[in-house]
Amino acid sequence: MLKCAGRFYLYTQLMATTIPFSKGYSNPHDIISLLQSRGLHISDTNKAEHDIERIGYYRLSAYMYPFLCTPKELHKYKNNASFDKVMMLYRFDKKLRMLLFNEIEKIEVAVRSAIANTCCEITGNPFWMTDANYFTDKTKFAKTMQLIDAELRKSREDFIAHFKSTYSNPYPPAWMLSEILPFGIITNIYNNIKKKNIKKRVSQTFGLQIDPFESWLTIITLTHNSCCHHARVWNKRNTILATIPDQINRPWITLTTDYLRIYFNICIIKYFLDIVSPQNDMLAKLQWLFVKFPEVDLKALGFPVGWEMEPLWNA
Residue 174 — very low, low, confident or very high, per pLDDT cuts 50/70/90? Answer: very high
For residue 295, how far is the Cα from the chain centroid? Answer: 25
pTM for the full predicted model: 0.90
Q: Is the pLDDT of residue 309 over 70?
A: yes
User: What confidence score (pLDDT) does residue 286 get?
Assistant: 97
- What is the biggest distance separating any 2 CA atoms in the chain, rounded to whole angstroms? 70
pLDDT confidence of residue 21: 80
**CB atoms inside a 10 Å sphere around CB 224:** 20
Lowest mean pLDDT among 1-10, 180-189, 195-204, 297-306: 1-10
Report the pLDDT value the prediction gives residue 6, as an integer from 0 to 100: 59
pLDDT at 25 over 90: no
Beta bridge partners of 41: 82
Average pLDDT over residues 187-201: 97
Tell whether the model's pLDDT for residue 10 goes beyond 60. no
Q: HEC profile for the chain?
A: CHHHHHHHHHHHHHHHHCCCCCCCCCCHHHHHHHHHHCCCECCCHHHHHHHHHHHCHHHHHHHHHHHECCCHHHCCECCCCEHHHHHHHHHHHHHHHHHHHHHHHHHHHHHHHHHHHHHHHHHCCCCHHHCHHHECCHHHHHHHHHHHHHHHHHCCCHHHHHHHHHCCCCCCCHHHHHHHCCHHHHHHHHHCECCHHHHHHHHHHCCCCHHHHHHHHHHHHHHHHHHHCCCCCCCCCCCCCCCCCCCCCCCCCCCCCCCCCHHHHHHHHHHHHHHHCCCCCHHHHHHHHHHHCCCCCHHHHCCCCCHHHCHHHHC
Q: What is the pLDDT of residues 209-238, one digit of tens each?
A: 999 999 999 999 999 999 999 999 999 899
Judge whether residue 283 has pLDDT over 80. Answer: yes
pLDDT at 8 over 70: no
List pLDDT tens digits, range 102-140.
999 999 999 999 999 999 999 999 999 999 999 999 999
